[in-house]
A and B are shown apart, each in its own frame.
Chain A
Amino acid sequence: GAVVSQHPSWVICKSGTSVKIECRSLDFQATTMFWYRQFPKQSLMLMATSNEGSKATYEQGVEKDKFLINHASLTLSTLTVTSAHPEDSSFYICSVQGKFTYEQYFGPGTRLTVT
């Protein structure tokens, strides 16, 4: 399977600032990546599908102007949380779609805390 990394693993920021989270596919060219958020003791909620070279597709209820996604290369997708607020504090996880497989390969996640 693919090896996926995320950076940073955790970040604390002040309310009103923007934070960028990187998701890298280390050994696999990923045309499609996914971004999820997860609140404590809850399941994963899909935020958006990131497609290399095109605009991301956002799930209903996810503000695209607040959660900016850029998938500029086959190995890197970034999620920028703009004007972060305490309610944006969460665990953000990316995944890479396997090639010709239903499996997804997940990054280790990024813990965002907005103070």
Chain B
Amino acid sequence: SQQGEEDPQALSIQEGENATMNCSYKTSINNLQWYRQNSGRGLVHLILIRSNEREKHSGRLRVTLDTSKKSSSLLITASRAADTASYFCATPAGGTSYGKLTFGQGTILTVHP
């Protein structure tokens, strides 16, 4: 079953702009991950944030986590056409354990050159 809901479902921006995607989940978790999927390809892990972290950075990516609201956001700064992809949040299906992941519905990001 899908735990996460993401919004927006689709986002279209110009190169250089920032893109923000949001994810909400239902159960308690100890970590949340973000993955990227180029069209017709497998997923690539972007970043993991633990439940005791509020914010994490990796290059042009910034992830926040609000466990009280059961939500996370992914910000991509200074976007590039190559950032065009689908972005998914994922949480442990059992809440805390290694193993099964439950994916959000995803946000389709299109960055126009």
State yes or no: do A and B come from one complex. Answer: yes
A interface with B by C-beta (< 8 Å): 1, 4, 6, 32, 34, 41-46, 49, 91, 93, 95, 97, 101-109, 111
Chain A at the B interface: SS class: strand
Q: What CA separation (Å) do A72 and B5 show in the bound complex?
A: 36
Are A106 and B43 closer than 8 Å at their CB atoms?
A: yes
B17 to chain A minimum Cβ distance, whole angstroms, is: 23
A-B pair number, CB within 8 angstroms: 56
Q: List 15 A-B contacts (CB under 8 A).
A: A4-B42, A42-B106, A43-B106, A45-B2, A46-B100, A91-B40, A95-B43, A97-B99, A101-B98, A102-B31, A102-B98, A103-B33, A103-B45, A106-B35, A107-B42
Are A106 and B44 closer than 8 Å at their CB atoms?
A: yes
- Most B CB contacts (10 A, CB to CB) among A44, A46, A102 go to A102
Chain B at the A interface: SS class: strand
Return the contact of B108 from the options A32, A34, A41 (Cβ within 8 A).
A41
What 15 additional pairs, Cβ within 8 angstroms, besides A102-B48, A106-B44?
A1-B45, A6-B42, A43-B105, A44-B103, A46-B93, A91-B40, A93-B42, A95-B43, A101-B98, A102-B92, A103-B48, A104-B43, A105-B45, A107-B42, A108-B41
In the complex, what residue of chain B is closest to A60 when comparing beta carbons? B1
Are B40 and A109 closer than 8 Å at their CB atoms?
A: yes
